[in-house]
């Protein structure tokens, strides 16, 4: 409805009124009739308007109008939102007057001349310059510059607010409130005293500014006054993310409703990233989504336990294993499973082995194909489904067997994952499955160096599994920058982000290291492939990078710098809102990581006092038998034993029986090391592994300590605190004769006590006979160690752990990292001589006496449960070489594996 200038307010001059008012008789036109009829204005107009000094009263409602006379020097986007969203209804009038640049430029020039004259005269009189004048001059120059170039235009702006109220008291109250709100925005407001009528008219929708209290503004400043920037993100479906800080509405959103369901979360540490993500996971689960999480801090455990999820913790002695060679289930129509697996394995081995030269890549490719072929797996899909996949060690053997020197080098680099410090995690058949509502993969107990590899393997595993059956899933990757440090893994996670949509997967990547994340091209690509981006509190050092990536305004930057826990910006598609994440009390208890709160909850018994010591019986993994390296028989065919089925076990005496006579057989200096061997029989494989090569001879005084206690979950890869002093040192210490004697005596007493029982790590092995004094009296020399090695090592591989070492094993374990040091030292000693036949030089030094006990030892040390290849033990003593080197190959094998080339 178009309102004419409201004449009801006009106090017309009396004379005028007299003239205009025709008597009914005078007016004979049809309008006379119309004037006498009731029209819309008569209906809507109030009966009276009382105009007071500082308010007007229309009907029963009081109105007061304020005008804004002063503005802050700097404003951010949406700076008027507190006024727009004021919790009392207000009538707001804003007027924008474009001003011709020409006139402004003339004025500016005049102003600048004045200012410059001031500066000049100050200079001439030798006075100090007034900084305000200098600043004004600079501002004027900048403005002139922008106006001339057409970058900015010039406007005037006026701003009026009318407050309606039911009573005068209320009016006063609201006026005070509004004035303080405006004051907080650095706006100076004044009541339009004695101009109430004009002021009121300026805020009714008649588009007439009757007050004309204006302020100069350029385009940029003017743009920030746009009032309708508070957007709502309230959908009918979805979950509650938090509260919209602009206007208190709820942010309800379904991430699966967008073109992809990926989310990135960036914020500094402690700002509530995990909290938000956990809350989202918890709420999304209610709608039937499956949640998978890669947890680096074990902080998802309480949540996982409460919702009945699977918490899978990786460490060298945990029962959870992932075999990266696993093929089962990749069968996607039309895809070559093996080919895809090989591609991802290439990436994995680049992560594990470091940079690969083109030759090495080619060798790796052939070796991978060969590794699968040996297990009977080819491009034929049937074999991929029915045959057992190879494990890491199979590849290792194949590499060792290859003739290229590069292959040996790669095998050495791979070694630490199979029997070194990093052994025991990813070198066995998979034992885990996903399918529970929430599956958490914890990498907390893994070595830092292993983490990127672990991330990759876990992601690959998840990716493989989720493609099998379509389900709504969310995959949460904490500390995702771990993956972006290396190009190969970065490409992989980017690939997941890109393809996740097809598999109904929403990928959530969380990163506190924004710089790392965004400086990677793949990181940036992940951001652009994520429909939801959540920014919480940022570090000042990172804010510029974030602002540049997300196109943040100054105001938004400030918001992120000053944000409290759980506050930030939520970008969803085209919308974005300022959000505050809120959880209910019950939810908060599940997801908080505040130590004080957790303690309190534990006291109240609401959460378990400690994460359950989830180290069930550790099932040692069969691994590292020397015969395994013989992949081919002499005719060049794959040995049947080599396939998945077990090899016949050697009929051997029980482990506890044989050891006693054995050491007496050869009372040489080497005997000093014999006692450890029976002991090693009970060592779980992870521990036995490194020892086979060097530990036996190298650390004679510690044999009883080598029984690794497997029960405690924590001491895995690096736990130097658990070593005994001598075990902790990775330097070899020449054992003193007393040491040797002491340990041997200790063992024999243990063994005599436990004889006839099933041996355990604590009970120790059968008693060795007392050592000859002459032996004890002579400390081992370096040459001795060299000699003893070949003799002992072959015996060890077959010493499969049968029994569980008692959890309370008093002697601390030798840690994997320690073992690796031994391993590397050992390699360093031997490899330069003959990489393929590491032990070849040694037999020449080997005294005859040492070879003699060998055949006796072999059967003794084999436990009946182990699958010792029938051929291996006899062969090794015969050949007289390669015994010390568990992975040495005889000449025929080398010929065989050359088929790789």
Ligand X SMILES: Nc1ncnc2c1ncn2[C@@H]1O[C@H](COP(=O)(O)OP(=O)(O)O)[C@@H](O)[C@H]1O
Note the residues at the interface with ligand X (CB under 6 A): 267, 269-275, 565-566, 581, 592-594
Closer to ligand X at the Cβ: 215 or 565? 565
Task: Indicate which of ligand X, Mg ion, none lies near residue 267 (CB less than 5 to 8 Å, by partner kind).
Answer: ligand X
Find, among 67, 75, 71, the residue nearest to 91 by Cα.
Answer: 67
Task: Indicate which of ligand X, Mg ion, none lies near residue 769 (CB less than 5 to 8 Å, by partner kind).
Answer: none
Closer to ligand X at the Cβ: 267 or 496? 267
Counting Cα atoms < 13 Å in the Cβ hemisphere of 594 gives 11
Task: Indicate which of Mg ion, ligand X, none lies near residue 385 (CB less than 5 to 8 Å, by partner kind).
Answer: none
Minimum Å gap between C-beta 269 and ligand X is: 4
Minimum Å gap between C-beta 575 and ligand X is: 20
Task: Indicate which of Mg ion, ligand X, none lies near residue 269 (CB less than 5 to 8 Å, by partner kind).
Answer: ligand X
Closer to ligand X at the Cβ: 507 or 601? 601
Closer to Mg ion at the Cβ: 301 or 341? 301
Closer to Mg ion at the Cβ: 233 or 475? 475
Task: Indicate which of ligand X, Mg ion, none lies near residue 270 (CB less than 5 to 8 Å, by partner kind).
Answer: ligand X
**Would the CA dihedral through 496, 500, 505, 508 be positive or negative?**
positive
The token pair at 736 is 């003193």
Closer to Mg ion at the Cβ: 299 or 814? 299
Minimum Å gap between C-beta 295 and ligand X is: 11
Closer to Mg ion at the Cβ: 274 or 316? 274
Task: Indicate which of ligand X, Mg ion, none lies near residue 788 (CB less than 5 to 8 Å, by partner kind).
Answer: none
The token pair at 435 is 């399918």
Task: Indicate which of Mg ion, ligand X, none lies near residue 594 (CB less than 5 to 8 Å, by partner kind).
Answer: ligand X
Residue in the shown chain whose Cβ atom is closest to ligand X: 566
**DSSP class of residue 691?**
I
Minimum Å gap between C-beta 260 and ligand X is: 23
The token pair at 112 is 């600048």
Helix (H/G/I), strand (E/B), else coil: 879: helix
Minimum Å gap between C-beta 254 and ligand X is: 20
The token pair at 383 is 């074999």
For 188, list phi and psi in degrees, rounded to 5.
-95, 120
Minimum Å gap between C-beta 6 and ligand X is: 51
The token pair at 44 is 């809507």
By the 10 Å C-beta count (0-12 exposed, 13-18 middle, 19+ buried), 778 is classed as middle
Rounded alpha-carbon distances, angstroms, from residue 391 to 428, 622, 675, 740, 801: 6, 11, 32, 38, 19
Task: Indicate which of Mg ion, ligand X, none lies near residue 275 (CB less than 5 to 8 Å, by partner kind).
Answer: ligand X
Task: Indicate which of ligand X, Mg ion, none lies near residue 809 (CB less than 5 to 8 Å, by partner kind).
Answer: none
Task: Indicate which of Mg ion, ligand X, none lies near residue 272 (CB less than 5 to 8 Å, by partner kind).
Answer: ligand X
Closer to ligand X at the Cβ: 29 or 269? 269
Find, among 869, 864, 424, 843, the residue nearest to 629 by Cα.
Answer: 869
Find, among 233, 221, 245, the residue nearest to 155 by Cα.
Answer: 221
Minimum Å gap between C-beta 585 and ligand X is: 11
**Per-position DSSP letters for 471-535, written without gaps between them:** --EEEEETTTHHHHTSHHHHHHHHHHHHHGGGGTEEEEEEES-HHHHHHSHHHHHHHHT-SEEEE
Minimum Å gap between C-beta 258 and ligand X is: 23
Minimum Å gap between C-beta 480 and ligand X is: 12
Residues 6 or more apart whose CB falls under 8 angstroms from that of 865 comprise: 649, 800, 802
Residues 6 or more apart whose CB falls under 8 angstroms from that of 753 comprise: 763
Minimum Å gap between C-beta 593 and ligand X is: 4
The token pair at 717 is 């890869």
Closer to ligand X at the Cβ: 454 or 581? 581
Minimum Å gap between C-beta 278 and ligand X is: 7
Minimum Å gap between C-beta 761 and ligand X is: 39
Can you name the residues that pair with 359 across neighbouring β-strands?
none
Closer to ligand X at the Cβ: 275 or 311? 275
Minimum Å gap between C-beta 275 and ligand X is: 3
Closer to Mg ion at the Cβ: 140 or 267? 267
Task: Indicate which of Mg ion, ligand X, none lies near residue 860 (CB less than 5 to 8 Å, by partner kind).
Answer: none
Find, among 566, 626, 641, the residue nearest to 374 by Cα.
Answer: 641
Whole-angstrom distance, CA of residue 857 vs CA of residue 652: 11
**DSSP class of residue 143?**
H
Residue in the shown chain whose Cβ atom is closest to Mg ion: 274
Task: Indicate which of Mg ion, ligand X, none lies near residue 581 (CB less than 5 to 8 Å, by partner kind).
Answer: ligand X
Interface residues with Mg ion (CB under 5 A) are 274
For 508, list phi and psi in degrees, rounded to 5.
-110, 115
Whole-angstrom distance, CA of residue 144 vs CA of residue 108: 7
Helix (H/G/I), strand (E/B), else coil: 234: strand
Closer to ligand X at the Cβ: 160 or 570? 570
**DSSP class of residue 685?**
H
Strands 290-295 and 263-266: unpaired
Closer to Mg ion at the Cβ: 293 or 632? 293
Minimum Å gap between C-beta 569 and ligand X is: 14
Question: What length is written for the chain?
Answer: 901
Find, among 199, 216, 209, 181, the residue nearest to 88 by Cα.
Answer: 181
Closer to Mg ion at the Cβ: 272 or 767? 272
Residues 6 or more apart whose CB falls under 8 angstroms from that of 51 comprise: 196, 197
Minimum Å gap between C-beta 724 and ligand X is: 37
Minimum Å gap between C-beta 597 and ligand X is: 7
Counting Cα atoms < 13 Å in the Cβ hemisphere of 160 gives 28
Task: Indicate which of Mg ion, ligand X, none lies near residue 214 (CB less than 5 to 8 Å, by partner kind).
Answer: none
Task: Indicate which of ligand X, Mg ion, none lies near residue 863 (CB less than 5 to 8 Å, by partner kind).
Answer: none
**DSSP class of residue 61?**
E
By the 10 Å C-beta count (0-12 exposed, 13-18 middle, 19+ buried), 319 is classed as middle
Task: Indicate which of ligand X, Mg ion, none lies near residue 566 (CB less than 5 to 8 Å, by partner kind).
Answer: ligand X
Helix (H/G/I), strand (E/B), else coil: 439: strand
Strands 290-295 and 438-442: parallel
Closer to ligand X at the Cβ: 178 or 536? 536
Task: Indicate which of Mg ion, ligand X, none lies near residue 28 (CB less than 5 to 8 Å, by partner kind).
Answer: none
Minimum Å gap between C-beta 320 and ligand X is: 24
Closer to Mg ion at the Cβ: 189 or 443? 443
Exposure string over 610-631, b if 16+ CB within 10 A, otherwise e:
ebeeebeebebbbbbbbbbbbb
**Per-position DSSP letters for 296-312, written without gaps between them:** SSS-SHHHHHHTT-EEE
Closer to ligand X at the Cβ: 93 or 566? 566
Continuous H helices in 604-736 = 661-665, 676-681, 685-690, 696-698, 725-728
């Amino acid at each position: 409805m178009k309102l004419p200038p409201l004449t009801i307010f006009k106090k017309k001059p009396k004379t005028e009124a007299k003239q205009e008012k025709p008597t009914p008789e005078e007016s004979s036109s049809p309008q006379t009739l119309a004037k006498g009829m009731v029209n819309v204005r008569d209906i809507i107009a109030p009966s009276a308007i009382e105009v007071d000094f500082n308010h007007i009263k229309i009907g029963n409602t009081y109105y007061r109008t304020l005008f804004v006379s002063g503005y802050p020097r700097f404003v951010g986007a949406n700076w008027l939102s507190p006024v727009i969203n004021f919790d009392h209804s207000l009538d707001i009038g804003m007027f924008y007057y474009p001003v011709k640049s020409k006139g402004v430029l003339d004025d500016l020039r005049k102003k600048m001349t004045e200012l410059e004259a001031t500066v000049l005269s100050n200079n001439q009189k030798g006075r100090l310059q007034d900084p305000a004048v200098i600043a004004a001059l600079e501002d004027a120059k900048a403005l002139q510059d922008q106006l001339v170039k057409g970058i900015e235009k010039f406007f005037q702006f006026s701003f009026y607010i009318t407050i309606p109220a039911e009573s005068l008291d209320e009016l006063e109250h609201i006026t005070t409130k509004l004035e303080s709100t405006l004051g907080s925005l650095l706006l100076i407001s004044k009541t339009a005293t004695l101009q109430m009528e004009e002021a009121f008219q300026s805020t009714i929708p008649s588009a007439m500014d009757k007050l004309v209290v204006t302020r100069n503004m350029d385009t940029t400043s003017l743009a920030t006054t746009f009032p309708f920037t508070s957007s709502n993100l309230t959908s009918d479906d979805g979950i509650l993310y938090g509260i919209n800080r602009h206007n208190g509405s709820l942010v309800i959103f379904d991430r699966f409703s967008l073109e992809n369901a990926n989310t990135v979360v960036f914020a500094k540490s402690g700002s509530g990233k995990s909290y938000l993500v956990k809350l989202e996971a918890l709420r999304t689960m209610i709608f039937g989504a499956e949640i998978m999480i890669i947890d680096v801090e074990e902080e998802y455990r309480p949540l996982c336990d409460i919702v009945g999820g699977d918490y899978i913790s990786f460490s060298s002695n945990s029962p959870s294993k992932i075999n990266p060679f696993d093929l089962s289930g990749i069968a996607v129509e039309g895809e070559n499973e093996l080919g895809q697996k090989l591609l991802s394995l290439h990436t994995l081995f680049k992560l594990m082995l470091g940079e690969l030269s083109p030759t090495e890549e080619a060798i790796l490719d052939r070796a991978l194909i060969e590794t699968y072929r040996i297990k009977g797996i080819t491009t034929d899909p049937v074999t991929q489904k029915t045959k057992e996949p190879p494990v890491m060690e199979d590849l290792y053997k194949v590499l060792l067997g290859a003739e290229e020197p590069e292959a040996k080098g790669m095998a050495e680099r791979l070694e630490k994952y199979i029997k070194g410090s990093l052994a025991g995690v990813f070198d066995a058949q998979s034992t885990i499955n996903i399918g529970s509502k929430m599956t958490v993969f914890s990498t907390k107990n893994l070595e830092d160096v292993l983490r990127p590899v672990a991330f990759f393997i876990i992601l690959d595993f998840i990716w493989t599994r989720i493609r099998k059956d379509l389900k709504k899933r969310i995959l949460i990757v904490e500390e995702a920058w771990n993956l972006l440090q290396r190009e190969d893994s970065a490409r992989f996670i980017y690939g997941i982000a890109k393809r996740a949509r097809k598999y109904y997967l929403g990928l959530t990547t969380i990163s506190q290291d924004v710089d790392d994340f965004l400086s990677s091209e793949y990181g940036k690509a992940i951001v652009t492939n994520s429909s939801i981006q959540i920014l919480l509190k940022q570090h000042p050092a990172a804010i510029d990078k974030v602002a540049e990536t997300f196109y943040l305004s100054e105001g938004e930057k400030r918001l992120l710098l000053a944000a409290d826990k759980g506050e930030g910006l939520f970008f969803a598609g085209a919308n974005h809102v300022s959000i505050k994440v809120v959880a209910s009390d019950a939810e908060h208890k599940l997801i908080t990581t505040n130590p004080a709160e957790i303690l309190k909850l534990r006291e109240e018994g609401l959460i378990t006092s400690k994460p359950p010591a989830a180290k069930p019986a550790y099932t040692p993994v069969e691994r590292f038998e020397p015969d395994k390296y013989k992949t081919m028989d002499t005719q060049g065919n794959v040995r049947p034993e080599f396939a998945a089925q077990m090899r016949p076990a050697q009929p051997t005496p029980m482990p506890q029986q044989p050891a006693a006579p054995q050491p007496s057989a050869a009372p040489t200096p080497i005997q000093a090391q014999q006692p450890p061997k029976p002991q090693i029989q009970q060592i779980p494989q992870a521990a036995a592994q490194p020892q086979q090569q060097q530990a036996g001879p190298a650390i004679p005084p510690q044999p009883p300590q080598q029984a690794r206690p497997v029960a405690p979950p924590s001491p895995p890869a690096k736990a130097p605190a658990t070593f005994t002093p001598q075990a902790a040192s990775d330097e070899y210490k020449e054992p003193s004769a007393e040491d040797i004697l002491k340990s041997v005596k200790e063992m024999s007493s243990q063994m005599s006590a436990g004889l006839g029982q099933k041996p355990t790590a604590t009970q120790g092995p059968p008693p060795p006979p007392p050592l000859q004094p002459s032996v004890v009296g002579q400390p081992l020399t370096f040459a001795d160690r060299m000699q003893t090695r070949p003799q002992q090592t072959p015996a060890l591989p077959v010493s499969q752990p049968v029994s569980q070492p008692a959890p309370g094993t008093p002697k601390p374990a030798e840690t994997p990292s320690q073992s690796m040091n031994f391993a590397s030292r050992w390699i360093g000693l031997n490899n330069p001589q003959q990489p393929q036949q590491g032990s070849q030089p040694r037999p020449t030094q080997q005294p005859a006496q040492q070879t003699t006990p060998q055949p006796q030892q072999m059967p003794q040390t084999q436990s009946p449960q182990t699958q010792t290849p029938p051929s291996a033990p006899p062969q090794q003593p015969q050949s007289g070489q390669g015994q010390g080197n568990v992975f040495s190959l005889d000449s025929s094998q080398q010929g065989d594996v050359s088929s790789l080339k």
